[in-house]
Amino acid sequence: MARGTTVAHTIDDLYFWSNVVALILLTGVTTVFFFHLRAADKKEIIVATLIAQLWNGRVNDRTEIERRTEQFNNLVDEHNAVVERELTTNATEADREAPPAANLNRSVGEITDTPRPENRIAPRKSFEPVPPGANEATATGSEVVRLQQDNLLLEHRSSNAEHRTDLKERLNQTTSLLDQERRRNQALKGA
């Protein structure tokens, strides 16, 4: 009889089954909720790690930019010192080889008194480019060295500018990724 009443109050009772289903659903929802909280914590840790890595990369890029800029400035200083030494040695050699000033100075009277050659070159009527090699005869050694130095400096500046633009692009990409991760982190915290 006790067995019959137990069966009647449990298996045969609809109220018993509704309570069992409600308890199973409550347990399932609670388990899902705890798993969701655990996943949110893991996501927050992952996002924090990514943000830290991006920030450290940005700091490393900045120190690398500063190091390379200093290295470039040192190389330019060394190059300028070498060119300056060459210029001073070339200037002293040019002073030794220069003809006396008396031969170079002619008076206006001497220039006007000399007859003009008949086969002289006609003056230019328009601005035509100077043929290559026309100014080479008049260029001195110091001018050539100065032009070489200017050319080398411009090449260094252009390569440095390209390097800076590459680093700036990389820094901008890193910054945008950092902003995206911050927005995602805020969205996860707000959800």
**Does 8 have pLDDT greater than 50?**
yes
Residue 94's pLDDT is what?
Answer: 65
**Tell me: the pLDDT tens digits for 61-85?**
999 999 999 999 999 999 999 988 8
pLDDT bracket for residue 95 (50, 70, 90): low
Residue 191's pLDDT is what?
Answer: 56
Separation between Cα atoms, residue 166 and residue 53, nearest integer Å: 20
DSSP H helical segments within 98-140, as ranges?
A: 101-104, 108-113
**Does 164 have pLDDT greater than 70?**
yes
Residue 189's pLDDT is what?
Answer: 81
DSSP H helical segments within the chain, as ranges?
A: 2-9, 14-97, 101-104, 108-113, 141-190
User: How confident is the model over 118-122, as a mean pLDDT?
Assistant: 46
C-alpha distances in angstroms, 149 versus 19, 136, 156, 159?
92, 17, 11, 15
**Does 157 have pLDDT greater than 60?**
yes
Residue 13's pLDDT is what?
Answer: 86
Residue 62's pLDDT is what?
Answer: 93
Mean pLDDT of the chain: 79
pLDDT bracket for residue 188 (50, 70, 90): confident
